[in-house]
Structure 1
Amino acid sequence: MTTSEQLFKQAKQVIPGGVNSPVRAFRAVGGSPVFIKSAKGPYVFDEDGNQYIELINSWGPMILGHAFEPVEKAVRDAIQHSFSFGAPTRKEVEMAELIIDMVPSVEKVRMVNSGTEATMAAIRVARGFTGRDKIIKFEGCYHGHGDSFLIAAGSGAVTMGTPDSPGVTKATALDTLTAPYNNLQAVEMLIDNNANQIAAIILEPVVGNMGCVLPEPGFLEGIRNLCDQHGIILIFDEVMTGFRLAKGGAQERFGITPDLTTMGKIIGGGMPVGAYGGRADIMNVVSPAGPVYQAGTLSGNPIAMSAGLAMLRYLNEHPEVYTRLEEIGGKLAEGFRAGLVKAGLNYTINQIGSMFTLFMTDRSVSNFADAKSCDLPLFGRYFHAMLKRGVYLAPSQFESLFVSVALTDDLIEQVIQANEESLREAIQ
């Protein structure tokens, strides 16, 4: 028994399912999860001493690679002054100013502790601002584990086979309307059937939680227009795409301005953090400026703020990072497609910048139904074949991969070669 297997056995005795987030359990791919001991640059190392080229990067935040020195130094410097104050700090102000400078739509911002907390708060703010109760989300989009979002959810909920979680009340479900991603007509019908009742439409501008799914031309523009016509708050969940697809996130890349934006991942440099922000008139309903209550003892934690500031300042001052991320994502997608051709497979690869997914289906994937057509047992075999060759992928077909600038051209070639060999092994 490996050390990871032993740890998983121990974990199942004291942690539900042996993990603290469902997708980590490897149930979607079979076998036991790998327990990570450390990481540096493009690599993670497990408890058994194995080294893997990393294509998850903590689900997005390690855009510069693991243990990036300026971020490490910022954390070391910050901890000398204690770990938490529960009081205002200079770094909170500096972080807010930097986010507002980098993200086109944000005029005011509130720091929280996770992406889930950010999306929950954004929905509450939208309801408080509009005086309406209902929201529209998209099938397969995952916005954290808040009750309002566990209706036709993506990511871990799909991986575990329970997209509609017990514990979510019928009343909550009734206030959450769902539409297929990339389907404007379905959104129009929901709005027409619930006139003057929709507070917000929330979506991932590029989906990461049913695999990487891109908006079709005109989709985001159409959603923006519908919101304008009907007084609906448009919320972009940029927890994954923010500061990754561009300095200003997907909204900068696509030229669409949401009313509210939720952020996470990169703004903490890997530390637990989230934020939501947007138009000043909307954000001014948040307590203590307004009546919509939201609070958190650890919000704006000085260690997290220090890590995030170091990360965002580096990204803001080094635009070449984004040029390199485009190159890496393009090379990997091109190499994976070549591997599919050699294996005689007509499967789909979706890629934008440093996000991509190999879907085990010959259908183009533009929504949740398309993603669910994948051959999941084949993906499981492929995943373990890649792991055996030292490449650490997301342990679920329904996840995007995230690359970092720590990947060298030599490592890219290693990953492409591993993909080719793993595809051949998986289909045998």
Structure 2
Amino acid sequence: MTSFENSIAAYKEAVKLMPGGVNSPVRAYKNVDMDPIFIERGKNQNLYDIDGNSYIDYVLSWGPLILGHADDTVIAALKDTIDKGTSFGAPTLLETKIAKLVQKFVPSMEMMRMVSSGTEATMSAVRLARGYTKRDKIVKFIGCYHGHSDSLLVDAGSGMATFDINTSPGVPKNVALETYTVPYNDEAAITDLFKRHGDEIAGVIVEPVAGNMGFVPGHESFLKTLRKLTEDYGSVLIFDEVMSGFRCDMKGAQHLYGITPDLTTLGKVIGGGLPVGTFGGKREIMKNITPDGKVYHAGTLSGNPLAMMAGIKTLEQLNEEKYADMSAKLDRLCTALKAAADKNGVPFTIRHRGTMWGYFFNNGPVENFDDVQKSDKEYFTRFFQYVIKRGIYLAPSPYETSFISTKHTDADIDKTIEVFSDAFANVQK
């Protein structure tokens, strides 16, 4: 029988020092009626906790670890880099090298600025859109999470949805009023909003493949409508690809859909497991960033050499063959899981794009946050408790996306199918 004795003791100590005992809320496992599992180490596709339990990991640090945990090439490069220093607060060649690599994958990023997190990237992109257009209003979509900056914490997904928070205390009402929210994948609603307020809108920020209300791909027609409306009204279109970048497609959602945004935000994969983010896009817009322009951005650890090196060594290993292999494994996994759910009469919707996948305990279709909320959250809790004890590590929330790495094997897929199938058969509906 799986024991979490050491994790339970560790959590009792942690709650004395940190709110909820954690440094990011969904890690607290409140949504699945468990104490959090404390991790000791990870290697390749596996995690190991402080009780000695091992897991096939489909969270992968919430997306960054496309090469799995502690990739040998990345770790070797980090060890060499750390001997030279951990931070300089000055330019290095590594920053230019990774910028060229990113641009190779995402050509729309003609210029970019490195930051230390996805939240910083989206916050800075929104500020830039406002500064460039000299307008104040921003549009986001209900259920999309773009980090925890004030302007974007309205009707957000991910952890906000997990804890049933609509607008966060601490965000001034006048700031929230500068953000319009519209249902995801709703072309009529966004068209109507632009007809009424288009001349006020500085920018539209969207996850083209949403990963923060669970996995919900954008409709191609919806995203093309966003592109046309923003062009017609002189607004900035921001694709938040912090999660979908290098994940739903090797070159991101903008390549998958054939749509070029004005600005793009990236994170996760480009740091190879270290804290990083970037925002960038059209040269004429990016030239408004200080010191070239007057839209202020700065960061002591932006372009940190360790994060840059980890990102470089991650991006250098990505190729079409690896993507095809990961996608094929996910196709087999998702097909088998849907068949097993149907066999046992469990309402279940599952999809994947590239190296991202996600599931909901409802019959679908799932196209927006209202659809997501029709899922059976109580069943999810029981299901999660069952599979984690069988060694499958999933996000402890029904509002998150799962991932795969280059290290996952066919045997891992087989075991995952077996455990999910047993759960569908044995977890009370």
TM score, norm. by length of structure 2? 0.98
- Is residue 82 of structure 2 the alignment partner of residue 79 of structure 1? yes
CA offset digits 1:355-414 (Å, max 9, x no partner): 111201123100000001111010000001110110000000000101112111111010
Residue 379 of structure 2 aligns with which residue?
A: 378
Q: How far did 1:192 drift?
A: 1.9
Rounded to whole Å, the distance in 1 between the matches of 2:65 and 2:336 is 23
Rounded to whole Å, the distance in 2 between the matches of 1:314 and 1:370 is 37
Q: How far did 1:95 drift?
A: 1.0
Amino acid across the alignment from 1:193: R
Runs of 4+ in 1 over 4 A off after TM superposition: none
Amino acid across the alignment from 1:145: H
Amino acid across the alignment from 2:423: S
Rounded to whole Å, the distance in 2 between the matches of 1:251 and 1:70 is 29
Please point out which of 279, 294, 297 is paired with 1:291. Answer: 294
Instruction: Give the alignment of 1:153-164 within 5 angstroms.
Output: 153-164=156-167
Q: How far did 1:160 drift?
A: 1.1
Q: How far did 1:425 drift?
A: 2.2
Residue 117 of structure 2 aligns with which residue?
A: 114
Rounded to whole Å, the distance in 2 between the matches of 1:51 and 1:237 is 33
Rounded to whole Å, the distance in 1 between the matches of 2:242 and 2:176 is 23
Mapped contact 1:140–1:210 kept (Cα < 8 A): yes
Residue 67 of structure 1 aligns with which residue?
A: 70
Rounded to whole Å, the distance in 2 between the matches of 1:231 and 1:130 is 8
- Is residue 42 of structure 2 the alignment partner of residue 39 of structure 1? yes
Residue 51 of structure 1 aligns with which residue?
A: 54
Rounded to whole Å, the distance in 2 between the matches of 1:246 and 1:375 is 30
Q: How far did 1:348 drift?
A: 1.1
Q: How far did 1:246 drift?
A: 2.2
- Is residue 355 of structure 2 the alignment partner of residue 354 of structure 1? yes
- Is residue 240 of structure 2 the alignment partner of residue 237 of structure 1? yes
- Is residue 391 of structure 2 the alignment partner of residue 399 of structure 1? no
Rounded to whole Å, the distance in 1 between the matches of 2:105 and 2:231 is 24
- Is residue 314 of structure 2 the alignment partner of residue 301 of structure 1? no
CA offset digits 1:144-194 (Å, max 9, x no partner): 000111100100011112131100111111100000000011111211221
Amino acid across the alignment from 2:146: H
The more displaced of 224-233 and 338-347 is 338-347
SS at match of 1:277: strand
CA offset digits 1:286-331 (Å, max 9, x no partner): 000100000000000001101000011111xx32111112112211
Residue 389 of structure 2 aligns with which residue?
A: 388
SS at match of 2:265: strand
Rounded to whole Å, the distance in 2 between the matches of 1:363 and 1:341 is 13
The more displaced of 346-355 and 52-61 is 346-355
Mapped contact 2:249–2:355 kept (Cα < 8 A): no
Q: How far did 1:247 drift?
A: 2.5
Residue 277 of structure 1 aligns with which residue?
A: 280
Mapped contact 1:328–1:354 kept (Cα < 8 A): no
Rounded to whole Å, the distance in 2 between the matches of 1:362 and 1:341 is 10
SS at match of 2:210: coil
- Is residue 135 of structure 2 the alignment partner of residue 127 of structure 1? no
Q: Which runs of 5 or more structure 2 residues have no equivalent in the other structure? A: none
Amino acid across the alignment from 1:427: Q
Q: Which runs of 5 or more structure 1 residues have no equivalent in the other structure? A: none
CA offset digits 1:77-117 (Å, max 9, x no partner): 10010100000001011111111121031100100000000
Residue 368 of structure 1 aligns with which residue?
A: 369
- Is residue 207 of structure 2 the alignment partner of residue 172 of structure 1? no
Rounded to whole Å, the distance in 1 between the matches of 2:42 and 2:332 is 24
SS at match of 1:297: coil
- Is residue 244 of structure 2 the alignment partner of residue 227 of structure 1? no
* Number of aligned residue pairs: 426
Rounded to whole Å, the distance in 1 between the matches of 2:78 and 2:20 is 32
Q: Identity over aligned residues, as a percent? A: 47
CA offset digits 1:111-145 (Å, max 9, x no partner): 00000000000000000000000000000000000
Q: CA RMSD in A?
A: 1.0
Rounded to whole Å, the distance in 2 between the matches of 1:195 and 1:66 is 45
- Is residue 331 of structure 2 the alignment partner of residue 330 of structure 1? yes
Residue 221 of structure 2 aligns with which residue?
A: 218
Rounded to whole Å, the distance in 1 between the matches of 2:312 and 2:233 is 37
Amino acid across the alignment from 1:2: E
CA offset digits 1:181-217 (Å, max 9, x no partner): 0001111121122131100000001000000001123
Mapped contact 1:55–1:403 kept (Cα < 8 A): yes
Q: How far did 1:341 drift?
A: 1.6
Residue 95 of structure 1 aligns with which residue?
A: 98
TM score, norm. by length of structure 1? 0.98
Amino acid across the alignment from 1:169: P
- Is residue 154 of structure 2 the alignment partner of residue 151 of structure 1? yes
Rounded to whole Å, the distance in 1 between the matches of 2:416 and 2:308 is 34
